[in-house]
Amino acid sequence: MDNLRTEAGEDADRRVAIETLYERLADSLELHWPEPHIGAAGTLGATRHGGWRVPTVGYLNFIHPPQVQIVGQPEIAYLGRLSDALAAHLRAQLTQGATRLVVVADGQHLPDYLHTALRAADIAVFTTHASGHRVAYRLRHFLGETLARQITLHGVFLEVLSIGLLVVGDPGVGKSELALELINRGHRLVADDAPEFVLLGPDDLNGGCPPLLQDFLEVRGLGILNIRAMFGEAAIKRRKQLGLIIRLVRGDTSDTAPPDRLTGARATREILDTSIPEITLPVAVGHNLSVLVEAAARDHLLRMQGQYSDEQFAARQAQVIGADPTGVSSCD
């Protein structure tokens, strides 16, 4: 994939330290870490245990223990009803599995036998008066974003007619010049050169700009331009979901196959297991690329609504041919 820069490692490489999680969520969840030296070296991320992938966050579970166990009022009530044999089984399952953090919610307190076992296994324990549901929601949201699959692509990422549109192509083909013209026509810049995309959910590739490049666009002959200062706040979009890729190719390239006259030069690009439609546009004298890109964006919006111009034309043509088998329309 020629427009791919780097992918942020395999699943096993994306991890977050328990200390980092505490620092980021301590205020919002009113977390307390009574023994910060216990479990401080632990990390959370994609983990396998016994051949099975371990869930990241979950309520008290000693059959498939998640990495973060949430223990609230219902779970404490359940623990209080356990027999000695079942309590011993629970203690072994929690301390010998992949659990690295236990969050005690609802202002509850762990039974002494369980707290002692977690301490001996170097498993961190946070406490909070927040509800278990709130803790679970915030943890899943934070870890979902932090541990999400990420990729950096080479190109200019813009918002055009409400669509996240990535312009890609060989160096010097005119990506930045096209982006500048689109911005001048009222569209918005997300990121130049190295937009970063995060897979936040199924088919949701959400892109943004690295802090170093925020607001800037490099244009050959002009150098670095501050788009926010030149065009105002409305010319910048902080993040956007990727919906369409526009690939620019030089019109004099002999190895480029001519586009289909009916459907155009359309393809699908797989990025982080997500299918993104791609349109190839030739860069040639007399081609108004900004108008072509706007037309591509409008057509993409129609396709999202189930309206395909090529299919509509083909259906109309078939209808005419069916009504006149000779293919020649007669006029009185």
Nearest CA-CA partner of 39 in 13, 67, 63, 60: 67
Structure tokens at 1: 């994939």
Is 261 a known active-site residue?
A: yes
Half-sphere exposure of 331 (CA within 13 A, CB side): 0
Q: Are 115 and 138 in contact (CB under 8 A)?
A: no
Structure token digits, residue 139: 């943890």
Mind spelling out the 3-state secondary structure of the chain? CCCEEEECCCHHHCEEEHHHHHHHHHHHHCCECCCCCCCCCCEEECCEECCEECCCEEECCCCCCCCEEEECHHHHHHHCCCCHHHHHHHHHHHHHCCCCEEEECCCCCCCHHHHHHHHHCCCEEEECCCCHHHHHHHHHHHHHHHCCCEEEECEEEEEECCEEEEEEECCCCCHHHHHHHHHHCCCEEEEEECCEEEEEECCEEEEECCHHHCCEEEECCCEEEEHHHHHCHHHECCEEEEEEEEEEEECCCCCCCCCECCCECEEEEEECCEEEEEEEEEECCCCCHHHHHHHHHHHHHHHHCCCCHHHHHHHHHHHHHHHCCCCCCCCC
Q: Distance between CA 313 and CA 230 in Å, rounded?
A: 43
Q: Which residue among 175, 187, 237, 247 is the active-site one?
A: 175
- Whether 227 and 215 have beta carbons less than 8 Å apart is answered as yes
303 is annotated as an active-site residue: no
Among this protein's residues, is 175 annotated catalytic? yes
Clarify whether 193 is annotated catalytic: yes
Q: Which of 2, 37, 84, 261 is catalytic?
A: 261
| Catalytic pick among 91, 154, 240, 247 | 154
- Which of 193, 237, 240, 247 is flagged as catalytic? 193
Site of tokens 């359940």: 78
Active site residues: 154, 175, 193, 261
